[in-house]
Chains A and B, each alone.
Chain A
Amino acid sequence: MTEQAALTRNAVLEQLEKLEKSGVEHVPIEHVRALVNLIRDFFEGNDAPATARFDEELYGELGHLARFINDAQKHLSELAPGDLQEEKLPEASDQLDAIVKMTEQATGRIMDSCEQVEGLLTGLRERVRESGMDPDTLAGIESTVDDISAYMTGIYEACNFQDVTGQRIMKVVDVMREIERQVLRMVIVFGLRKQNKVDEKKRQEITKDAELLNGPQLEGKGLAQDDIDDILDALL
């Protein structure tokens, strides 16, 4: 703001303050006229050359800004955010969803088989006990059955992975859906429509990308059971 404009503005504010403090219900017309004149001076600017310079600088800055937005729009357009939002991100999310579903199904099948084996082991144990075989042979068979049962426990323990990886992948899917929403906003704001259909090569790239998203190795980031036990010992 120029010095003259600042002086005019201060004069306007001063007049307004006077009017407010005067407490009169009806403001004399000459006071209103004086105020209007001051405001007009402020907007029209009695210091025309300075205002012109100010306007020139402002227009210059606005020009820079417009070119920057234009360049950004061009670069964003080259990135094909429409494809990203409409095809790549949803497809990557779907791939991750599919991984969760497939591992869940596979784990279910492993558990089905384990339960079948356990049923057979229980039956076998009963039959050998009722068979009247010699104690040493019976003990040997029971020991083997116990070993198999311990291995079954190991399989159940290992099946934990499905729940943990599933939860991690769903977190990644949530993040991707948020990115998708943000890209959609960008597409709308910048008017960046979809550039072209994703060709087969790009589709393969998407699949490759999705396959890479197997979840980061997070060991050491959360607490281990020992750390949790320490906290529990201190709190319980």
Chain B
Amino acid sequence: MSVDKNMRVLVVDDFQTMRRIIINLLRQLGFNNVTEAQDGRAALERVRAEKIDLIISDWNMPNMTGIDFLKEVRKDAALKGIPFIMVTAEGKKENVIAAVQAGVNNYIVKPFNAATLKEKMTKVIGEF
């Protein structure tokens, strides 16, 4: 079954520029139904308020980090099934392991390109 490109994608990053980059790359890949949040806390409010089909989140953010946001999502029975991709400059092995232990579905290290984003999204949500 092919992926519905109209799925609702939440992009979380404290850098507005980075959110714009990811949103534009998603648009290039055919995903136009995108919403955004500037930190984990705002993102958590968003996923509790509306149906989100995929989360793409930074790690290092004020108020609530990406890893804490991920843990909150995985703790919540209503949200725990949402695919979660971490996109971060944190490129250490212990970060990747911590993210996997917290329940991340895939991990992209910055800087990245559209091909990497597509490849990781395909692994998480299927071919598109």
Residues of B within 8 A of A167 (CB): 60, 89
B107 close to A160 (CB less than 8 A):
no
A77 proximal to B (CB < 8 A): no
Alpha-carbon distance between A167 and B87 when the two chains are bound, in angstroms:
14
* 8 Å CB interface, A182-236 against B: 222-225, 227-228, 231-232, 235-236
B114 close to A153 (CB less than 8 A):
yes
B15 close to A163 (CB less than 8 A):
yes
B17 close to A163 (CB less than 8 A):
yes
B28 close to A156 (CB less than 8 A):
yes
Interface string of B56-82 (1 = CB under 8 A from A): 000010000000000000000000000
Interface centre among B21, B25, B106, B113 (most CB of A within 10 A): B21
B110 close to A163 (CB less than 8 A):
yes
B96 close to A160 (CB less than 8 A):
no
Alpha-carbon distance between A157 and B113 when the two chains are bound, in angstroms:
5
Residues of A within 8 A of B110 (CB): 160, 163-164
A160 close to B112 (CB less than 8 A):
yes
Alpha-carbon distance between A114 and B21 when the two chains are bound, in angstroms:
10
B122 proximal to A (CB < 8 A): no
Do A223 and B93 contact each other (CB < 8 Å), given the known contacts A152-B28, A160-B110, A166-B15? Answer: yes
Do A164 and B111 contact each other (CB < 8 Å), given the known contacts A153-B28, A157-B25? Answer: yes
A56 proximal to B (CB < 8 A): no
Residues of B within 8 A of A114 (CB): 24
B33 proximal to A (CB < 8 A): no
Interface residue from A118, A153, A164, A235 paired with B97 (Cβ < 8 Å):
A235
Q: Report the minimum CB–CB distance from B109 to chain A (whole Å).
A: 5
Do A225 and B17 contact each other (CB < 8 Å), given the known contacts A157-B114, A167-B89, A236-B100? Answer: no
Q: Is the interface of A mostly helix, strand, loop or mixed?
A: helix
B91 close to A228 (CB less than 8 A):
yes
Q: Report the minimum CB–CB distance from A165 to chain B (whole Å).
A: 9
Interface centre among A227, A232, A235 (most CB of B within 10 A): A232
A232 close to B114 (CB less than 8 A):
no
Residues of A within 8 A of B15 (CB): 104, 162-163, 166
A231 close to B25 (CB less than 8 A):
no
Interface string of B9-29 (1 = CB under 8 A from A): 000010111101100110110
Interface residue from A104, A115, A223 paired with B109 (Cβ < 8 Å):
A223
Residues of B within 8 A of A236 (CB): 100, 105-106
11 CB < 8 A contacts A-B: A157-B25, A157-B111, A163-B17, A163-B18, A222-B91, A222-B109, A224-B91, A225-B108, A225-B116, A236-B100, A236-B106
Residues of A within 8 A of B (CB): 104, 107-108, 111, 114-115, 118, 149, 152-153, 156-157, 159-164, 166-167, 222-225, 227-228, 231-232, 235-236
Residues of B within 8 A of A (CB): 13, 15-18, 20-21, 24-25, 27-28, 60, 89, 91-93, 96-97, 100, 105-114, 116
**A-B residue pairs, 8 tightest by C-beta:** A222-B91, A160-B111, A157-B113, A235-B100, A163-B18, A223-B91, A231-B96, A156-B24
